[in-house]
Structure 1
């Protein structure tokens, strides 16, 4: 349609996207788990890019302290469920995007309905559960994290083998710092959320070389580093000994 060509013209003109790529995005489903600083930013870019179906999962309500970095929301949203507030804002941005919302438990079940999953949560138990669901369903996973002036992005694709999130962080007992305790600047977490959206769009367009990589960012020094993530043969989630191979 002419309206689609006008709306998405700036990315359709990219030879890596084109009309065919835009149709791929339109026919794709992305699950965003966690609608805080990471997820609200990622979901905004995915809706703007024309992802056909966005699945949104969060259990929290908007708090006043969120607005410093979760700019998808408005002050009038304080007290509303994040899924409800995010769905309203994203629908206003792009009415052609189909939006579905889930609570935390149903969100894991929705992994099988998505083409790719974004983990935008802020605690290890949730990250481990999402990773396990993605490995079981053989769905690609884009994991993001940000705190203080530090960010990281990791991409996993169980359908291609290689490492999973549990290979990277194997310690059940590791406690994650929180933004409330350690602090975070809005542009830092927004940058990582944007990169998660970028990684998902690239994967949906068939550019999947990021799988099995960890990128870390020092925002104070503007330094980026990318590492390959080795698979752990003894990983309790994806290791060969636990798959009976």
Structure 2
């Protein structure tokens, strides 16, 4: 049988001048830069299924390529998944889903896998029915669903499987009829019974691959499904809402993730619980949970997607994680749960919870510099390239780097041929510098320990660098006088400080979509000068040092102090990040592209 090839059905292809854009969104989209004139016409040719032999003839007739080059081009198109031999049957029930599965690189037999899976649904209300409709449409082989309630008029705001004429009918009986209208090829097993004990899972749901729990009563239901999951080996997940937040997960996979026993005392109610006690009874005996159609649909859609991804074996976001969706602004918060090594249900595994309330391990300043200074810091993305522009290394250039920390700039300029003295008050920092210098076998650099004011240095320097030091010093006038005496007659002093705006305010940040997001910066009291206490964060926005004392001064104060010390300001810079940082360090970019993080003064002696 002859094989036919065509462009991937799910890809758009546009030609913009000499660029060909294949697909629309990363990471699957591809861009062919400087595409040859004939390539667009060839891709258009493959919009219909073509044999390889026919395609070789077309290419050689419509380009300057030889047959060998035409064959190589087709092989390259196949290798890059631009064309393929996958067939598309528009009349197939699951054809559009198959295109989606192709797009996200799922197993080639994804639809066949789903047809052989069994999913349980506990609760056929607003979330359960919406999940059921998604799974029935997706071709899950067997759906087992339970509920003992009848349909009420107030259900119809969100339970779209039911109609007005169904009011007072049992939910599961009507659901079976309606789901069969969606997909008559799947097996439907309605259970007209509410969950009253663990035995219902043993009796009706033991064959399930995964169960979705969208019922929240009785209170013991989570304990029951967890025990049954450990016994029968099925996965399960929760889907519901907490006030105006939709809640999906965590997905519990026996032997892999935390179980309910591990995480039941963590999460949104953590602050109301006392040392692991069970949540007490609700004193509001007339409580009725609000329920909102669009929120039910959002939760159901995410949960159905997670079920399908689990069944076909691709990554799940809710595996061991609960997502909380704010229905008012669509922010997504994550609560991550891992196993408790002392859990009596799921075994001996390490338990750790990472969420908004997670604690951190304090790091030393040296540790922070060693781990992040070279590539993952504001210094690396903002200062290093600017310093390279400001300092011109000529023969016999001498540089004094005051507060050199782990030595990135000192080493950089030594490698360019300058003679360097790298000074710091921290022996730990200088030990790091010395190790780097010895490894690189650099001859033009030496280290000097101690406070620069108290050191006797006879040399004069073309450049004195003092980056992010003066903000730790109460009396900067004395140091500026020392710096002035260390410069050659035409020497340059370069001083960088944390920008007074940045140190005069605070970020409001929130954790959602799997990361810290910096949304609003509040400038609190810019003109209040003096000692301040601030924290230090790493590239991921996690606090690594909780308390650092420094001195806040306004730009005017720094400027006047420089002038009084006998300097003239010949340059003032507020470095901005290059756009590539948005891709490599999104959190750092989000912060330093909105407000200035450093202020650099270039000074000459009057």
TM-score (norm 1): 0.87
- 1:183–1:222 distance in 2 versus 1, CA, 3 Å: same
Which residue, 198, 209, 225 being the options, matches 1:115? 209
- 1:127–1:190 distance in 2 versus 1, CA, 3 Å: farther
Deviation at 1:134, TM superposition (A): 1.3
Say if 2:333 is the partner of 1:225. yes
**SS of equivalent to 2:324:** strand
Counterparts of 1:43 and 1:5, CA distance in 2: 23
Structure possessing the higher radius of gyration over alpha carbons? 2
Counterparts of 2:295 and 2:345, CA distance in 1: 30
1:13 corresponds to which residue? 99
2:158 corresponds to which residue? 69
- 1:230–1:17 distance in 2 versus 1, CA, 3 Å: closer
Which residue, 100, 114, 126 being the options, matches 2:189? 100
Say if 2:145 is the partner of 1:56. yes
CA contact (8 A) 2:89 2:95 kept: no
Higher strand content, 1 or 2:
2
Unaligned runs of 5+ in 2: 1-87, 266-276, 350-606
Counterparts of 2:312 and 2:296, CA distance in 1: 25
Deviation at 1:29, TM superposition (A): 0.6
Which residue, 17, 24, 27 being the options, matches 2:113? 24
Counterparts of 2:226 and 2:95, CA distance in 1: 35
User: Which segment is superposed worse, 164-173 or 197-206?
Assistant: 164-173
Deviation at 1:223, TM superposition (A): 0.6
Unaligned runs of 5+ in 1: none
2:362 corresponds to which residue? none
- 1:17–1:148 distance in 2 versus 1, CA, 3 Å: same
Which residue, 201, 217, 225 being the options, matches 1:130? 225
2:36 corresponds to which residue? none
Counterparts of 1:199 and 1:11, CA distance in 2: 15
Deviation at 1:18, TM superposition (A): 6.3
1:102-151 CA-partner distances (Å, limit 9, x unpaired): 22357412332111111111233222211221122121112111144211
Counterparts of 1:59 and 1:17, CA distance in 2: 37
Deviation at 1:97, TM superposition (A): 0.9
Please, what is the CA RMSD of the aligned residues? 2.6
CA contact (8 A) 1:148 1:185 kept: no
CA contact (8 A) 2:106 2:314 kept: no
Higher helix content, 1 or 2:
1
CA contact (8 A) 2:255 2:346 kept: no
Deviation at 1:172, TM superposition (A): 4.0
Return the structure number with greater relative CO, CA threshold 8 A, min gap 6.
Answer: 1
User: Which segment is superposed worse, 190-199 or 205-214?
Assistant: 205-214
Matches within 5 A, 1:63-212: 63-102=152-191, 103-104=193-194, 107-109=200-202, 110-123=204-217, 124-154=219-249, 155-160=251-256, 162-170=257-265, 172-175=278-281, 181-210=288-317, 211-212=319-320
CA contact (8 A) 1:33 1:107 kept: no
- 1:134–1:80 distance in 2 versus 1, CA, 3 Å: same
Count residues in correspondence: 239
**SS of equivalent to 1:156:** coil
**SS of equivalent to 2:201:** helix
- 1:41–1:169 distance in 2 versus 1, CA, 3 Å: same
Counterparts of 2:177 and 2:142, CA distance in 1: 14
Deviation at 1:11, TM superposition (A): 1.0
Deviation at 1:175, TM superposition (A): 4.8
1:9-64 CA-partner distances (Å, limit 9, x unpaired): 11111323465000000111101111011110101100000001111111111111
Deviation at 1:180, TM superposition (A): 6.3
CA contact (8 A) 2:126 2:159 kept: yes
